[in-house]
Amino acid sequence: MSSGPAGRDAPLSRWTLLAFALPAAPISAMGLPLVVHLPPFYAGTLGLGLTVVGSIFMLARFWDVFTDPVLGVLSDRFETRWGRRRHWIVLSVPIMLLSAYMIFMPQGEVTAFYLVFWLFVLYVGWTLLTISHMSWGAELTSDYFQRSRVQGSREVLLVLGMVFVLILPIIAVKLFPDNDPKFVGVASMGWFVIILLPITVALAVWRVPERPAPKPEHVAFRDAVRLLVENRPLRFVLAADLISGVSGGIVASLFLFLANDAFKLTQVQSYQMLLAYFLSGVAFIPLMLWISHRVGKHKAAALSALFNAVSVPLILLVPTGNVQAALAVWILCGVNMAAGPFLFRSIMADVADHDAVQTKQTRTGLFYSLLTSTSKVGAAFAIGLSYWMLDTIGFKPDGENTQAAINGLRMVYVWPAVVISVAVAGILWYFPLDEAQQRANRDILDRRILDAAAAGIEVRTGAPSDPQSSGVPAD
């Protein structure tokens, strides 16, 4: 691996970043409908009901939380000639393709059991794919700010995937005007994932090798768990991510209800609002990267959370039927939409380094499984509780609602997000790992690799046997 001044990794090439980030597009194209479109589709259009669907998606998320650490540990420990990450990504593809087809294009009679079974299968493939991809990205570079660049590139593709999956239903409805637009829209999202996922995974696995890592030393299970629990930076990140998951789960799962019932927007106008929101997020990623360079990643994430706390209440001021006002508010809310996710993932790479210094283990997969688990726990509670609350206040999906129910919907949408955003900012502002500490940790880890190579100890590369197999090509 080539290095820059003072032992720092040289910047990754744009082509390397693009190839690595490509699978993020179908990942987000699957993730967005799972939170925003599929719960209302199964609850209203397919008639399963709010409480039933909310409970099923909550249970499926908890199943995902159980499988995350298991698959994260497997990702760290079992390697092939491709390395530790890429073979798991390839393995996830057929699982994702089959389950996506059954979820987005439901076959036969759709019952609660049907939805439970295929959601559970889907989340196994989803976990294999997302944890392995995030862990791989964390290991592409050891540089404090380069990690934000890697995760920022992944975030751009994530948002672009969301943009395309929102445009497709609009096009599909125009191409098939005689079919039910809700069925056509959901099916178009599924086909987007099914077609794009194998292509992007193939390009990423082919073009981007894995970095070298020394073989881990044995640590007793009890000691490993103790070090995990005592890892103070890890506790900070997981606490912030957990409550962020609650906030994000509420606003995502209730968005279509808010747009259609409170704002009285058409389906196309709702999609346009989401498009504006995501495009705003992409446009401001460079600004968020600049801010993180100025104040550090954890303080940039804290400032992003505070901005969210200030901007979200503007939703309460949007008049019913005013498309321009709704669009303006969603563009403003989208300014920092991407900041939290990619900064959290970049920070977690530093936390994994901190753990590696203490344990002499590479547990990146486990750490990212914990990160995805906390957000999923938050999202699971969010969708279950928010749908239950809507049922309690008498809100009816695809039905006539009283003004009291509409006002209750707005309150549930806004105020939990505000309170949680302030709490996230308070947690992250005092995060204990900064750039100086991360560079000191990397110096220790890099010396271990050099010492292992000098002593003739095997160093795992996981890269193809070519001139660039020892690292990732730089510009």
DSSP state of 216: P
DSSP per-residue letters across 347-405: HHHHHHHHHHHHHS---HHHHHHHHHHHHHHHHHHHHHHHHHHHHHTT--TTS---HHH
Tokens 């707005």 — which residue? Answer: 410
Task: Enter the pTM of the model.
Answer: 0.69
Measured at the alpha carbon of residue 39, what is the angle toward residues 254 and 314, in degrees to the nearest 5?
A: 10
Report long-range pairs for 445-448 (Cβ below 8 Å, ≥24 apart).
445/142, 445/353, 445/356, 445/357, 446/7, 446/142, 448/214, 448/360
DSSP state of 458: -
In order of start, what are the domains of the chain with their CATH numbers?
15-460 (1.20.1250.20)
H helices then E strands: how many in the chain? Answer: 19, 2
Using CA atoms, how far residue 278 sits from 165, 268, 282, in Å, is 11, 15, 6
- How many Å is the Cα radius of gyration of the chain? 22
pLDDT of residue 324: 92
Which of the residues in the chain have pLDDT under 50?
1-7, 218, 460-475
pLDDT of residue 225: 62
pLDDT of residue 464: 35
pLDDT of residue 331: 92
Q: How far apart are the first and last CA of the chain?
A: 12
Q: Report yes or no: 200 and 23 within 8 Å, Cβ to Cβ.
A: yes
Render pLDDT for 79-91 as a digit per residue (tens, 0 to 9).
Answer: 777 777 888 899 9
Strands (E), 207-303: 213-214
